[in-house]
Amino acid sequence: MRILLAEDDPQAAEFVARGLRDLGHSVTVAADGRDALQITQLHDHDVLVLDRMMPVHDGIQVLRALRSAQVHVPVLLLTALGRIEDRVEGLEAGADDYLVKPFAFAELAARVQALGRRSSNAGGSTTQLMWGVLRMDLLRREVTCSGERIALQPREFALLEELIRGGGKTITRTMLLETVWEFHFDPRTNIVETHMSRLRGKLAEGGAKDIIETVRGVGYRMRAV
């Protein structure tokens, strides 16, 4: 993917850019908001990673300028502030995802992946998801394994849906908390883990054993078929 990273702290920018390049992405770095705007006018990108606080134009200003110019590239907004309203403000300005500094690199990488995938899948609304022997019917809220129905709780269903939509890429614990449970804070209890173990138990019973892999310290992904 072609990624534009706008970050005023050179050390942080270098760390993130190196990590993303290691994953096979091509990364352009802009040191402030004005640079970022100029670069977006010259080149197309698959994903933008914008720091919320930057000199000249901050992340929100860049984002508003882009959206008002009808540029719909997916944007991940980064911020150092722990403010509750920043997330809402960022999303309202048109950000697609939001990550509070400091973050683990794996968290950022997973979110960038997810954003890139979302833009390439855009337009195709599906009612069926498939992964190996598993088939999910999103309208009837049904999961079948080789034709046999597996009964799942609503949250377990949502959990499996997120992972399958991830297409084998890692989905982090925090991403799952936000999308499946709408928790925008870090609970100190292993709630994702316990729900995941129940889901795995039900899937194994239904014949899809070990279909979900744990990525240690980061999250989960569907095992390649």
Residue ranges that bind other proteins, judged by CB under 8 A: 9, 11-12, 15, 53, 80-85, 88, 100-105, 153, 155, 181-191, 194-195, 197-198, 217
**Quick one: 11 or 128, whose CB is closer to other proteins?**
11
Instruction: Give dist(CA 207, CA 98) in Å, integer.
Output: 37
In Å, what is the CA distance from 71 to each residue of 7, 66, 82, 84? 20, 5, 28, 27
Tokens (6 digits) for 186? 């870090």
**Quick one: 18 or 72, whose CB is closer to other proteins?**
18
**Quick one: 43 or 141, whose CB is closer to other proteins?**
141
CB of 99 to other proteins, least distance (A): 12
Task: Fill in the amino acid letter for 218.
Answer: V
CB of 201 to other proteins, least distance (A): 11
CB of 120 to other proteins, least distance (A): 28
**Quick one: 46 or 51, whose CB is closer to other proteins?**
51
CB of 130 to other proteins, least distance (A): 27
**Quick one: 57 or 202, whose CB is closer to other proteins?**
202
Q: Which ranges in 69-132 belong to alpha helices (H)?
A: 84-93, 105-121
Instruction: Give dist(CA 158, CA 182) in Å, integer.
Output: 12
Nearest Cα to 148, choosing from 203, 217, 198, 77? 203
Cis-peptide into 55, omega within 30 deg: no
Is residue 123 left, alpha or beta, with left meaning phi > 0 and alpha meaning psi from -120 to 50?
Answer: left
CB of 44 to other proteins, least distance (A): 29
Task: Please count the other Cβ atoms lying within 10 Å of the Cβ belonging to residue 137.
Answer: 13
